[in-house]
Amino acid sequence: MPINRIAIGGPGEVSQPDALKAALAEFCSMLIFVFAGEGSGMAFSKLTNDGSTTPSGLIAAALAHAFALFVAVSVGANISGGHVNPAVTFGAILGGNITIVRGILYWIAQLLGSVVACLLLKFATGGMQTSAFSLSADVNAWNALVFEIVMTFGLVYTVYATAVDPRRGNLGIIAPIAIGFIVGANILAGGAFDGASMNPAVSFGPAVVSWSWANHWVYWVGPFIGAAIAAVVYDGIFIGQGTHEQLPIADY
């Protein structure tokens, strides 16, 4: 992956209408995703007297996040590319598909969207706690880091294959479904161990609202490493210099 593909962008990009619209789209998509995903966990916990860690709770979380992400990516795809994840945005930056300046706008919007969603959930549920991501008793931070790296690698690799690759053809139509499916599958694989975040913004909102920061660094470092590996592998090997072309913002 040639380093010259990474574009910084100019300060004027911050005030461009299309960049601001794209950031707003990321805010709305993240709000939709976190409200549905986190809200489903809170609802299941209420209905089962805090039984969200049961097998049925894990399946419910996987389905809720898969469905919600499918919608969140779909509704944002034509405006911002439907990243809905700072790690996905980081992978897009490394591939030269968006500028660093626009990426920072996306990150701010994504984090704000997650925080607002959790605040709305807390208000709407009469003060129920939005649970911050945490590790299970038999998992340490380094175990969880590996989980987050591998799961986010799978997510961003899927994004590149179905939404970024210039040769994707009609495969791009199913990109939101594929992205939702891989997140749901990863929650089934890692949810019982570290919550299976794969998304720093999804972890950030509940942590802010509940003010719980134990091992929070794992949910940033792991996804960013996984995203970087996926971007380098797919863009550097499978897209390559010969087939790479700058994509419009709607396609990342």
Paired tokens of 249: 């913002």
Q: b vs e for 76-94, b when ≥16 Cβ sit within 10 Å of the residue's Cβ?
A: bbebbbbbbbbbbbbbbbb
The CATH H-level (homologous superfamily) assignment of domain 3-236 is Glycerol uptake facilitator protein. (1.20.1080.10)
If pLDDT is split at 50, 70 and 90, which confidence band does 182 have? very high
Q: What is the chain's length?
A: 252
Higher pLDDT, 46 or 208: 208
- Tokens 């690698």: give the residue: 153
Q: What are the pLDDT digits (tens) for 53-91? A: 678 888 989 999 999 999 999 999 999 999 999 999 999
**pLDDT at residue 9, rounded to an integer:** 85
R_g of the chain computed on alpha carbons: 17
Q: What are the pLDDT digits (tens) for 142-172? A: 999 999 999 999 999 999 999 999 988 888 8
For the chain, what are the domain ranges?
A: 3-236
Task: Please provide the average confidence, as pLDDT, over all residues in the chain.
Answer: 90
Least confident of 50-54, 161-165, 186-190: 50-54
Q: Which of 179, 175, 154, 155 has the alpha carbon at shortest distance from 165?
A: 175
Q: What are the pLDDT digits (tens) for 86-125? A: 999 999 999 999 999 999 999 999 999 999 999 999 999 9
Higher pLDDT, 250 or 184: 184
113 Cβ contact partners less than 8 Å away, ≥ 6 residues apart: 26, 27, 28, 29, 30, 31, 34, 201, 205
Task: Report whether 130 contacts 42 (CB < 8 A).
Answer: yes
**pLDDT at residue 250, rounded to an integer:** 47
Task: Report whether 186 contacts 198 (CB < 8 A).
Answer: yes
CA 170 from chain centre, in angstroms, equals 23
**Interatomic CA distance for residues 112 and 116, integer angstroms:** 6
**pLDDT at residue 217, rounded to an integer:** 97
Paired tokens of 44: 């299941």
**pLDDT at residue 14, rounded to an integer:** 87
